[in-house]
Amino acid sequence: MRKLLPATVASGAAALALVALAAAPASAGTADSHFEVVFPGNKPQTMYHVQNTATLSGSMTGKSVMSWQIIDDQVVDNSKRFTSFKITTRIEERLTKTTEDHVVTSKTCDWTKIVNANYSWFAVEPANTCVAPPAVYDGELWWSTDATIVYDIEGDGKGAITKELLGSPLVHG
């Protein structure tokens, strides 16, 4: 014999289900990239770590956070290491999982001053976080956050070096 739920319990459960459906869950994807920079002379070799995050929370947001540390504890030369160090963080969309990305929004952050002034940086602060302007989310598309760093090492004579970083996993649905 099947028992029927009282009407108040059934209507309460239905109301909770509607609230759960109406609240869009936040979704995020994060990817990490690492690279080393070897400087000329006695400047310390440094490891850089960048985390690209795409987050869906009403709109699509994207940010890149960088931390770094010297590899050798012996700091011999504390002169300027970079003539330029910039990151461009992009929110990208694509029509399917396998089609090419299209940039929706982007922001370039100049971190030359902060990377020259600090041998190491581990904190997550606005100074080392580059945030692209938010994008209007379309659940039919596939979204990610990607970034490119372009830096020029002081005194190496090689000019600008471009590092394409690992983009976040795709956000969809």
pLDDT tens-digit series, residues 1-51: 433 334 433 444 333 333 333 334 458 899 999 999 999 888 888 999 999
Identify whether the C-beta of residue 168 lies closer than 8 Å to the C-beta of residue 145.
yes
Tally of domains within the chain: 1
Measure the CA–CA gap between 165 and 149, rounded to whole angstroms: 8
- 41-94 pLDDT, tens digit per residue, is 888 889 999 999 999 988 999 999 999 998 877 666 778 999 999 999 999 999
Measured distance CA(36)–CA(49) in Å, rounded: 9
Give the full edge-to-edge strand order of the sheet including 46-57. Answer: 27-37, 46-57, 59-70, 129-135
Query: Does the pLDDT value for residue 151 go beyond 80?
Result: yes
CATH of the domain at 76: 2.60.40
Q: Is residue 143 part of a domain?
A: yes
Instruction: Tell me, yes or no, whether 157 lies in a domain.
Output: yes
- Asked whether residue 167 is assigned to any structural domain, the reply reads yes
Is 60 a domain residue? yes
Domain with 106, as residue range(s), is: 26-172
Rounded CA-CA distance 162/152 in Å is 9
N- to C-terminal Cα separation, the chain: 41
In a domain, 91, yes or no: yes
- What separation in angstroms does the CA of 51 have from each of 68, 100, 131? 12, 22, 12
Q: What is the pLDDT of residue 75?
A: 66
Residue 26 pLDDT: 59
The answer, yes or no, to whether residue 145 has pLDDT greater than 90, is: yes
Q: Is residue 21 part of a domain?
A: no
For residue 155, the model assigns a pLDDT of 92
- 17 found inside a domain: no
Q: pTM for this structure?
A: 0.82
